[in-house]
Structure 1
């Protein structure tokens, strides 16, 4: 959450400073129409927990990691954009298996997420090449959890909110930086123990930050 707020504030501050400067008319805005974008950045810390049929439970601490996305989109009217995006996130995780007598064992591994999202953006109509924007999106994700105690994958709903700014470096190319608050939830997994099987559902929420480029055509 803190990563999302810091990045969003920084992007909007850059927009305010750059927007107040005089710029060449040719770079006033990137071309309208369709575009593709590529981006990369960080995904912040989060956590999750689940249980076994024998009463043991797992608490997992998911570390900050890397994320990236590619998207195809189009302008809609004067200030709106819509896009479909393919995203990937990879994070290390530390997990601890506990019972009512304390910690039984600890392990580590990775959580990998592949998502397909529909995003909408509003670009604020300010003068100059730098445009602050807000966005929101939803989609589906496949989450692969291999934390040393669980090796399973499940599908989940994704929700995200974005705040950032873009700068036109040519009539067809824009650079952007944004903060994101990302939710991946109701991930269905199954655990197995000598006492039997148990279904659990996990939620993960964390802040993120991306920088990238949009190419209009």
Structure 2
């Protein structure tokens, strides 16, 4: 009798756990916001290398979960980082300039519907990025050499891996790492590539 009671209790707890996990992944819309630590990779330009200071970004998205596995979203973002220096084989020059990017992307994700509060996922996205380099100048031994501002709009590609950690049935904490590439290279200058370390919140309706 006692064994049967324990078995029934265990089954009840298991069903409750699965029910809670399933309710957190029910189909429906969601909103998300992320604060981002931005690290832009050095950009090679002929025999020079452009280096950047650590930057930041903010991103917001509205999406829809189709089932336990699939969801998609439209994302808007803004990022900024300072250009640090130009480095060549025999010289390093300080550089002044503020880089900005406004981006819009469509992302798709695959979630692993595990029991419990933690759910890993992977995803990828495609979109456009409008980049601006404001007030650029080279600080040389001969003085400050001012350059023209640069603006362009280009294709954006990105991939992401992360975790969704349930806080409540509606809210989740979402840490992730993202690799981003903007196809703005030309005339011997490489595309812009960046690593984004994101701390996000997601609210599911």
Shift of 1:87: 1.0
Q: Which residue of 1 aligns with 2:10?
A: none
Q: Which residue of 2 aligns with 1:167?
A: 165
Higher relative contact order (CA 8 A, sep 6+): 1
Instruction: Structure 2: give runs of 5+ residues left out of the alignment.
Output: 1-13, 138-146
Bigger Cα Rg: 2
Instruction: Structure 1: give runs of 5+ residues left out of the alignment.
Output: 1-21, 52-56, 189-198
C-alpha RMSD of the superposition? 2.6
Q: Which residue of 1 aligns with 2:151?
A: 153
In structure 2, C-alpha distance between the alignment counterparts of 1:162 and 1:105, rounded to whole Å: 34
Aligned pairs (5 A) from 1:56-75: 59-75=49-65
Mark the CA change 1:166 to 1:97 in structure 2 (over 3 Å): closer, same or farther: closer
How many pairs were matched up? 178
Aligned pairs (5 A) from 1:192-203: 202-203=190-191
TM-score, normalising length: structure 2: 0.76
Q: Which residue of 2 aligns with 1:45?
A: 40
Check whether the contact 2:123–2:161 (CA below 8 A) recurs between aligned residues. Answer: yes
Q: Which residue of 1 aligns with 2:204?
A: 216
Check whether the contact 1:173–1:215 (CA below 8 A) recurs between aligned residues. Answer: yes
Shift of 1:96: 3.0
TM-score, normalising length: structure 1: 0.72
